[in-house]
Amino acid sequence: MNKKRLIAVFLIITIFLIAWSIIEDQNKRIYRDYENDISNFQNGNKELIELLENLIETPNIKDYSNIQYNMGILMENLNSLSRNMSECYKKGLLNVDKTYDEGRDISNAAAKIIQNSQNLLIESIKLSNSEIELTEDKIKTVYEELNSINDLFEPYYNSLK
């Protein structure tokens, strides 16, 4: 009878260890995806700000189109980041508060900033005889808005293991 109990205990412990190992592997994968997404988002925003600086210095259609394209990519990165961030919170892998300004989700706040920046950028451009004319105050507002995203996400950038 003792051998049967010993075998049963051994099997239960083995099953528990296998389940624990699977959960740990899933958590590591989810966190790696989050790290990758936060890094891509940070780099994408940095690249976008650099393109915007170039556009301010020398307005041209190529930089303008690259900015619009990169804003779309930044939104895609933000969507993926938001999904992985939610998964990390569910699993208890993130300790940084994801709410911002009266309980709004930080991803929603960033998406709104990017959308507003896209609209301001569209409003700031005027084509005249194949030349681009910029409304500087709107471009500076876009620049400030995109920089504010870095401030929003700084705790996440700093929390990477």
Model pLDDT for residues 94-103, shown as the tens digit of each residue: 877 666 666 6
- Of 68, 49, 41, give the one whose Cα is nearest residue 154: 41
Taking the C-alpha atoms of residue 62 and residue 139, their distance in angstroms, rounded to an integer, is 16
What proportion of the chain, given as a percentage, has pLDDT over 90?
35
- Determine the pLDDT at residue 57: 84
- Determine the pLDDT at residue 44: 93
Q: Is 131 helix (H, G, I), strand (E, B) or coil?
A: strand
Q: In the chain, where are the structural domains located?
A: 2-159
Token pair for 143: 């620049």
Q: What is the mean pLDDT of the chain?
A: 85
What proportion of the chain, given as a percentage, has pLDDT over 70?
90
The stretches of 58-135 forming alpha helices (DSSP H) are 61-91, 106-124
- Of 126, 109, 117, 108, give the one whose Cα is nearest residue 49: 117
Mean pLDDT of 129-147: 79
> Are 43 and 81 spatial neighbours (Cβ–Cβ below 8 Å)?
no
Q: 135: alpha, beta or left, given left = phi > 0 and alpha = psi -120 to 50?
A: beta
Mean pLDDT of 109-124: 86
Q: Which CATH number fits domain 2-159: 1.20.120, 1.10.357, 2.40.160, 1.20.58?
A: 1.20.120
